[in-house]
Amino acid sequence: MSFLTIRDVSKSFGGLQALRNVSFEVEPSEVVGLMGANGAGKTTLFSLIAGHARPSAGSILFKGRAISGLRPDQICRLGIARTFQIVRPFASMSVLDNVIVGALYGVRQERSRVQAAARAMAILADLGLAERADDPASSLTLSGQKRLEIARALATAPELLMLDEVMAGLTATEVGELLAAIQRIKDRMPLTILVVEHVMQALMQLSERVIVLHHGEMIAHGTPQEVAIDPRVIAAYLGQPP
Amino acid sequence: MLPPTCDALAARLDNPQQNGLAVSALLSGQLLFAALVVGSVYVIIALGLNLVFGTMRLLDAAHGDVVMLGAYTSFWLFTLVGMPPLLSMLIAGGLCAGLGVAVYRGLFRRLLADTRLPRRLEGNSLLVFFGISIILQNFAALCFDTTPRAYLYLDGVIRVGNLAMTENRLAELATAAILCVIIFLFLRFHIYGLAIKALIQNRQAAAVVGVNIERIQLLSFAIGFGLAGIAGSLISMTEQITPFMGFPFTIAAFVTVILGGLGNLIRGMAAGMFLGFVEIYGVALTSSSLDSVLIYGVFIVVLYLQSQDFLGGRQKS
Amino acid sequence: MIPPIPTRDALIFVGVIAVAALLPKLGNEYLVAVALSFAMWVALAQSWTVLCGMTGYGSFGHAAFYGIGAYVQALAWGIVSPWLSVPLAGIASCLFALVVGYPALKVRGPYFVMLSFGLAEFMKYSIIGIEARLGQFSRLIIGAPSPNDLFLVMLGLAVAATLITFVVAGSRFGYGLRAIREDEQAAETVGIPVARYKLIAFGLSTFIPGMVGAVMAMRLSYFEPSQAFDPLISFNIVLMAMIGGSDDARGPLLGALFFVGLSELLWARAPQVYMIVLGALLIIFVLFAPQGLAKLLFGKTRPRAS
């Protein structure tokens, strides 16, 4: 029984078919990358897994349990956390409070604010945000807010972390720093990561396996190297060779 | 308390001895005419609200009170200098448009430009407009005291078969219709009208194609308030005027705008008419004292349905 | 999770309550009346804050719960002792809120504000209609407890409401509510049971207003439905929260103080000017000080435990 199973998942919105018969599995402690052009269905898939929408067909199993149809907060408590493509911090709360919320309501359901704060500070330190702990979340730069998003997700003590285009909008240096931070975190705790990325360098560097979506269908999967030279992927991104 | 537009008829229907008249009254053209008149006024008021709400997502809770100001303007011009309301409505419209400009420049330009608050804009605008509403109502109460005012104008009656239509109501209907056509043509063919529609549909895209957002917003405010003022003049011919008469019109306007969908004029007109029909026929079928229950009932149902996307609610910005 | 209480604040609080409790002994009726009014608004504003200040679902229709409480008391008068009917009024209010809140809380942001207003008005006109059918145009309570006794009860309600808000604001529940206010969908993603929390907050925010309505019914001993469900009540609560701040328990206290002070100054003398001033204040605070006096005067409002 694999960790996360996506089986024949389809999703349509009215007349638009966003996902069509997508199937793949994710093993524990893997880092799986999801790539595809805009509109390929990546964020839709994340929304389905996180519980913001239900699949039109197919099933999603997490640790053997069917999760499609559960509410987002229930899915979080089962151990799945996600970040959003466009950051959604709790803007007027402090950076620390943002992460404390995750600790209070995630898998561990902390009751003590003191303990939650301690864990939160540790996570913030990992992501280089410790000095900004008392500042309002809205005062962070984009890079900071992206890291805060990840920190908040990590505070929920997930087993599966879904990162939705966390590198978007970051400079090359910031991308490198964030990659290193994610690597550190992954070394420290047993974490399975599902990554959606447009920044190829980051995707290829992070992922052990890559799945390619195109117009809602899975057109290729394999190691980053295999996928990079896959003719179907090249055709999808660059068009057919003349 | 809603303006009793069909008081005599409703009173008759309340009377159990004359309930036999009820069915024939329902089927008569009388109610139809009343519904058309009420509906057409709602359409004009809602059009004004649509402009303010549609272009800037501002929840104008004071819209009905602008109607009230228009009504008072016509009343005083008629009483003091004998100016017919069909003429004074232009002055009322102008004054209210001026008020719109002042409110925009004084209060909302700041609110709209403050990029820290885009998410809270709708909520804040509701509160600010509510404050304006309170100020307008009590200012009017202070200046004019609260005794209801009324005047008689064009109170001759035209009879067509069984149908008795007072001239002033006919004038209301006709003026509202003409106004609708003018606005429709303006929004369709005039460059500023098109700009307004663009702003309603997609604010950022409108800016990108060169629409002067500032100016169009100002224009929307002015026209929106102006229309409310004109509607007030029309209403003043047939209803009693008090400082607190505006609120039910605000509610009706919001129901119409939500039902009709933002920026959708044809649907908005249909919605306004629909509301007029619901009110008149609803009151006729039940009792005149239930008109407030009816209108607020429709209000809450519409708001709820809108959030559930039955009406294409575009709540998430 | 009870938040730490700064000793100085706690002492001041207890001191004020002790002084207030002794007020009736002074024999000054006017003073007791003003104090009762103040206590009432504190109780209402603090309760409102639990839902609206914290989750951002600003109810503009809280008068409905006040009115329900008043009616429960009026109907139960003479049948059961006030010791029973007042809490009953609170429970009735709360139940109504839970039933209505379930669909109503699905409506977001300013539309919820409008909806809550519409609901309160709908209730008002419905009750007016029902009362008219019953031939009752007003309700009478003869032989109510003395204003001094009622004042002590109201004081108790004000204290209770303040404590509830204080505890909620600093608790884990409060964190959840605030997250809902900031971003409802993100809050759900980090594990907060949003729908359930909103409903609980809503119910909690209407329990004391119901009891306040019951107490006031006895105080006024005569009221009509349009008074019991007067939208001005809702408006005043919102105004107090805007002026005072609604992030924690300090705001409503400031707001109520400001409001009662202003009302004593102006309302009897020039009611329209008074209303105009209120309207202007609302606008000024929304535009320039949206977090209210509490933020302006005290800065960071939440104690940190590090």
Average the pLDDT over each of A121-135, A152-166, B199-213 and give the range with the smallest value: B199-213
Distance in Å, alpha carbon of A131 to nearest chain C alpha carbon: 14
pLDDT of B2 reads: 39
**A81/C189 Cβ within 8 A:** yes
Burial class (CB in 10 A: 0-12, 13-18, 19+), B8: exposed
* Residue B211, CA atoms < 13 Å, CB-side half-sphere: 23
Helices C147-170 and C29-48, packing angle to 10 deg: 30
Tens of pLDDT, residues B69-83: 999 999 999 888 888
Task: Dig out the tokens for C38 from the structure.
Answer: 């103040």
Do B260 and B276 touch, CB atoms closer than 8 A?
A: no
Say which residue the tokens 């002590």 belong to: C152
Closest CA to B31 of B13, B6, B14, B11: B6
Residue B315 has pLDDT above 90, yes or no: no
pLDDT tops 80 at residue A145: yes
Asked whether the beta carbons of B233 and B70 are under 8 A apart, the reply is yes
- Whether residue C117 lies inside any domain: the answer is yes
How many domains does chain C fold into? Answer: 1
User: In the CATH scheme, what architecture does the domain A4-238 have?
Assistant: 3-Layer(aba) Sandwich (3.40)
Q: What pTM does this model have?
A: 0.86
Of C178, C193, C306, the CB nearest to A73: C193
β-strand C139-140 against A192-196: which pairing, if any?
A: unpaired
Alpha helices in chain A (DSSP H): 42-50, 72-78, 95-105, 113-126, 142-155, 172-188, 200-206, 224-229, 231-238
Torsion of CA B119, B121, B123, B126, to 10 degrees: -170
In a domain, C139, yes or no: yes
Strand pairing category for C222-223 and C139-140: antiparallel
How far apart are the C-alpha atoms of B59 and B53, rounded to whole Å?
A: 6
B130: distance to nearest CA of chain C, Å?
A: 8
Q: Are C176 and C32 in contact (CB under 8 A)?
A: no
CA nearest C294: which of C253, C223, C226, C245?
A: C245
Distances (CA, A) of C255 to C45, C56, C157, C187, C281: 8, 18, 17, 29, 12
The rounded distance, in Å, linking the Cα atoms of C124 and C129 is: 9
Range in A97-111, B146-160, B287-301 with the lowest mean pLDDT: B146-160
CB-CB neighbors (< 8 A) of C301 in chain A: none
Query: Is residue C31 in a domain?
Result: yes
Tell me the pLDDT tens digit for each residue of A146-175: 999 999 999 999 999 999 998 888 888 888
Chain B environment of C108 (Cβ under 8 Å): 307, 315
Nearest to B121 by CA among B217, B255, B238, B27: B217
Give yes or no for B300 touching C (CB within 8 A). yes
Whether residue C238 and residue B127 make contact (CB cut-off 8 A), yes or no, is: yes
pLDDT in tens, B221-260: 999 999 999 999 999 988 889 999 998 899 999 989 888 8
Segments making up each domain of chain A, as ranges: 4-238
| Residue A102 touches chain C, beta carbons under 8 Å | yes
Domain that holds residue C164: 7-230
pLDDT of residue A232: 84
Residues of C within 8 A of B315 (CB-CB) are 108-109, 111
pLDDT at B297 over 60: yes
CA dist., res. B35 & res. B275, Å (int): 9
- Rounded Cα distance between B230 and C142, Å, is 51
Find residue A31's DSSP bridge partners.
A193
Give the model's pLDDT for residue B98: 94
Judge: C106–B59 Cβ closer than 8 Å, yes or no: no
How many interface pairs between B and C have CB atoms less than 8 angstroms apart?
110
Q: How far is C264 from chain B (nearest CA, A)?
A: 18
Does residue B186 surpass a pLDDT of 50? yes
Q: Which residues of A touch C191 (CB under 8 A)?
A: 73, 76-77, 102, 105-107, 109, 156
The ipTM value here is 0.88
Q: Out of B59, B135, B251, whose CB is closest to C110?
A: B59
Rounded Cα distance, B285 and B280, in Å: 9
Q: Kindly state the average pLDDT of the residues B9-14.
A: 49
Which subunits count as partners of chain A given 3+ CB pairs below 8 Å? C
The residue assigned the tokens 């002026």 is C243
Put simply, the answer to whether C187 touches A101 (Cβ < 8 Å) is: yes
